[in-house]
Amino acid sequence: MRDLWSSLQGKLDITPSQVTSKTNEGVWVPYEKGCTAIRDLGGLVSIHAGKKSNSFENIKNNPPFKQQVKTDILRECVDILEVQSDGDCTGYRDIVFPSVRFRRPIVVGSDNHDIRNYSTKCSCWIRGDATFEALKHVCCEPDDRVYLGEIPPLLERVASNRTRYIRSVEVRKVANAKLSETWFDCEIPLNHGLVAVIGNKGGGKSAFADIIGLLGDSDAGDDFSFLNADKFCKANNNKARSFTGTMTWESGGASKRLLSERITAEVESVKYLPQEYIEGVCNELQEHDGGRFSEELASVIFSHVEHSDRLKCNTFDELLQYKTAEKLKAVAVRRESLNTLITSLVAQERLSSPSHIQTINEQIASKKRVLDAHNAAKPAEVPKPVEDEAARAKTENAEKTIAELTAKADELQKNLETANQLLTQANRRIAAADRLTTRLTSFEAEVSMLKEQSGKDCADLGLSIDDIVNITVNKTRITEAKALATEQSQTQSKIVAPEPENSLARQIASIEQQMAEIRNALAGPSKKYHQYLIELKNWQTRRDAIVGSEDKDDTLIFYEKQREDCDAAAKGVPSILDQVITKAIEVYHDIDALAAVYSDLYAPVQRFIEKHPLAKTQFHMSFETKIVEQRFAVDFLSHIAQNRKGSFNGSIEGSERITGLLRETDFNTAESAAEFLRKVWHALHNDLRNAPPQQSHVTDQLAKGSTAQQLYEHLFGFEYLRPFFTLRWAGKDVSQLSPGERGTLLLVFYLLIDRADIPLIIDQPEENLDNQTVFNVLVPSIKEARSRRQIIIVTHNPNLAVVCDADQIICASIDKEDGNTVTYVGGAIENPGINNRILDILEGTRPAFDNRDSKYHPK
């Protein structure tokens, strides 16, 4: 101090005698000269501010030029402002510094003139080594390195969350290890704030991160870059089994295991993001295929939901299931209704298909040929013979008897047909009773399930489900109707049965036998005439059977009616298609309602982002619920035989066509979804490979084992659509982001949005990012994150280690000449030894740094 004082006097042109003769208050030097001299000697200049005596504030702001004088003094001559208490800081931080556009550290000093009477109005904490170099470093980080108050938030967090902060990591070789190489033999204390691990390539940086990930039960074990089967854990030379790692927490608890062990715990105590993990998750983000990040995203969203809104659910999936269960049932019910319409559509299409029409036309032509042949075989007319009076009397008696018997037979035949109709009717009633009983039994089961499922909700409302739902199903009338129908069935069955002696069929056969005997007894001409009448009747009966009716299958009129139905069906297909699409869009709206539930669930985290200054103003991050399509092309084409004629012919060409239709569609609007259905429908019914397109039919394109019903249920049922929540970055969807942007999004998510407070370890977060993004995005994000959790980053980038102002730098190195000995040396940035290593490793040595600096700022 004596030498320093002497040097200062020399620079200021004052002598000890002057000080002695004039006293301290009588000696003065120009302020600027004094500040320059102090700084030339490596010192710092502090000035009283705020309410302290002889404060900088004693210089008034009026006239205006004095305000500029104060600004110039603050900029040119002052390193540190010393205030009386933390209350004096507000004006500087909120008004002065933003106005002058630079900042200075604000400290509270004891200002004690008597060490025996030491007291302060406010505690002043400085983050750094207890060295003058650390005090000088405060000038580089005036806000983050100084805290005025009882206890800094970091120390308070550590004190109340000791199981969330790592105290140290130790790696030792196991006893009796056969491995001759040294590799690890160290214990590394860890700072509770931001730790940056640096070192040359292959120096052991990622090994350090992997070891923490292993000891912290990270679920990213498959993505470790050092502790994996290709490097340190090779099957035939597993060096990892020779070492034990121990991670000690501030609580005193420790995690210890061999470096060769695999992670089996389900709960992480650290979150570790290796490079491969980041790249893998980025790919998942692009593909919308869920995966690990979707689980992380769901967990983070759930962490932002207020406890009162979690409805006693323990996970996001539980809450989502609770809120969507009934809506999913509604979708299922709607799809059942849709499938009924699709069944009608398939039937109409089948009727109007060219192949079906051709079959009907062939059946009509065939029946007409049969009818023509039958007409040609009409029995030749036999005139009624002229007989004498005796013969005529005998013939007339015979004819009278035949007429009576015929009438009787016709009556019996009518009774038989009536009995058959009544039997059919009775059997249908029995079947209807059984169907209705089964349906009502199912309904009772559904009501019972409804009451069971709703019981808890009613209990939460203080209600009884029985007071709300009271449904009585009375099956008595059904049972009675079935019993009556059964009795009728049995009665009619006896009537139509041919076996009994007095059955109608036997009575008719007996009458026909009697008539045959009477005819045979007639004289020659009369017998021949009556034989003609019988043949004519049989011919007419056969003709009537050929011509038939609309309700008698395999008849001419039946097929002609079917042909008319084909024409009607062709005209009716567009109407039914409209009904199907309308119902399909109702299903879509049900899915959209599910998406609204997703939006409600992520609303709290979205509000958090909107209120967060960094996320809101600098990063433009937002959550979004989308309706996304999954696997439609694959599942759709599985129903199509791509070796047959049609728009989707050819495995490559067909896939490109359906992919193109998907690419044109925005499934987040009902209009676009409906248009997609119509386009696919059109492609199925028109071979778009031709110009103009040729009409095609679905059944001709179906793969073996597939049906039109299955294909349409898949297409119109929208089972390939589902709500999906994702992040957006600067207004762009994840799929539109570059790999670097996706990586940035992922890192910012973990650094800013994730509410977890366990240590976060990131291996080389700057990979694939440009330095501007690192500085503008990652640096403020990491600074923000370390205010909530312990952060450990492995990096080659000076922006992350230095600009982030890491609390601890760990320099990793390996001596391959000394048994691959890995060394970790830790310290603060301001530590001269550490500072030199930072220059050598991150900046490429001081000459390289100075060379670049001179070119950026030429003198």
Per-residue model confidence as pLDDT tens digits over 96-136: 888 888 889 999 877 677 777 777 778 899 999 999 999 99
How far is Cα 588 from Cα 670, in angstroms, rounded to an integer?
Answer: 7
For residue 632, tell me if it sits in a domain: yes
Q: Is there a single domain that holds both residue 330 and residue 368?
A: no
Q: Is there a single domain that holds both residue 419 and residue 359?
A: yes
CATH number for the domain harbouring residue 205: 3.40.50.300
Tokens of 478: 């059904």
Q: Which of 732, 766, 783 is the last residue of a domain?
A: 732
Split at pLDDT 50, 70, 90, the class of 166 is: very high
Q: Is there a single domain that holds both residue 526 and residue 594?
A: no
Q: Which of 732, 766, 788 is the last residue of a domain?
A: 732
Q: Which of 53-67, 115-129, 333-347, 348-362 has the lowest mean pLDDT?
A: 53-67
* 20 pLDDT more than 80: no
How far is Cα 436 from Cα 321, in angstroms, rounded to an integer?
Answer: 33
Report pLDDT for 63. Answer: 65
**Mean model confidence pLDDT for the chain:** 88
* 419 pLDDT more than 80: yes
Render pLDDT for 472-489 as a digit per residue (tens, 0 to 9).
Answer: 999 999 999 999 999 999
Give the DSSP H/E element, type plus range, for residue 538: helix 524-547
Q: Is there a single domain that holds both residue 339 and residue 359?
A: no
* 186 pLDDT more than 80: yes
Split at pLDDT 50, 70, 90, the class of 18 is: confident
Q: Which of 34-43, 289-298, 307-316, 335-344 has the highest mean pLDDT?
A: 335-344
Calculate mean pLDDT across residues 776-801: 93
Please state, in angstroms and as integers, the Cα–Cα distance from residue 842 to each residue in 193, 273, 797, 833, 849, following that order: 21, 22, 6, 14, 10
Calculate mean pLDDT across residues 256-261: 94
* 517 pLDDT more than 70: yes
For residue 123, tell me if it sits in a domain: no
For residue 237, tell me if it sits in a domain: yes
Tokens of 565: 């139905």
Q: Are 216 and 128 in contact (CB under 8 A)?
A: no
Which residue did the predictor score with more confidence, 174 or 29? 174
Alpha helices in 664-803 (DSSP H): 670-685, 708-717, 739-748, 771-773, 779-785, 798
Report pLDDT for 449. Answer: 87
What values do phi and psi take at 188, rounded to 5? Answer: -115, 110
Which residue did the predictor score with more confidence, 612 or 331? 331
Domain count, the chain: 4
* 258 pLDDT more than 80: yes
Render pLDDT for 760-780 as a digit per residue (tens, 0 to 9).
Answer: 999 999 888 888 889 988 999
* 3 pLDDT more than 70: yes
Q: Which of 717, 732, 747 is the last residue of a domain?
A: 732
- Tokens 């994150």 found at: 785
For residue 91, tell me if it sits in a domain: no
For the chain, the maximum distance between any two Cα atoms, rounded to a whole number of angstroms, is 186
Q: Is there a single domain that holds both residue 498 and residue 368?
A: yes
Q: Is there a single domain that holds both residue 765 and residue 815?
A: yes
For residue 747, tell me if it sits in a domain: no
Domain coverage including residue 592: 307-351+569-732
For residue 84, tell me if it sits in a domain: no
Split at pLDDT 50, 70, 90, the class of 623 is: confident
Report pLDDT for 51. Answer: 73
Which residue did the predictor score with more confidence, 74 or 821? 821
Q: Is there a single domain that holds both residue 327 and residue 359?
A: no
Q: Is there a single domain that holds both residue 543 and residue 574?
A: no
Report pLDDT for 795. Answer: 94
Report pLDDT for 57. Answer: 66
Render pLDDT for 367-406 as a digit per residue (tens, 0 to 9).
Answer: 999 999 999 999 998 888 776 677 777 777 887 888 888 8
For residue 111, tell me if it sits in a domain: no
What is the number of helices (H) and of strands (E) in the chain?
30, 22
Distance in angstroms between the alpha carbons of the first and the last residue of the chain:
36
Calculate mean pLDDT across residues 559-564: 91
Q: Which of 54-63, 234-243, 275-284, 768-777 has the highest mean pLDDT?
A: 234-243
* 544 pLDDT more than 60: yes
Q: Is there a single domain that holds both residue 521 and residue 586?
A: no
Q: Is there a single domain that holds both residue 720 and residue 770?
A: no
SS3 label, residue 793: strand
Q: Which of 283-297, 442-456, 541-555, 791-805 has the lowest mean pLDDT?
A: 283-297
* 56 pLDDT more than 70: no
Q: Is there a single domain that holds both residue 527 and residue 633?
A: no
Split at pLDDT 50, 70, 90, the class of 547 is: very high
Report pLDDT for 65. Answer: 67
Q: Is there a single domain that holds both residue 716 and residue 775?
A: no
Render pLDDT for 154-165 as a digit per residue (tens, 0 to 9).
Answer: 999 999 999 999
Q: Which of 95-104, 499-508, 748-757 has the highest mean pLDDT?
A: 748-757
Q: Which of 75-89, 313-327, 631-645, 665-679 has the lowest mean pLDDT?
A: 75-89
For residue 206, tell me if it sits in a domain: yes
Calculate mean pLDDT across residues 722-738: 82
* 232 pLDDT more than 90: yes
Calculate mean pLDDT across residues 487-496: 90
CA dihedral 544, 545, 547, 551 (to 10 degrees): 110
Q: Are 760 and 270 in contact (CB under 8 A)?
A: yes
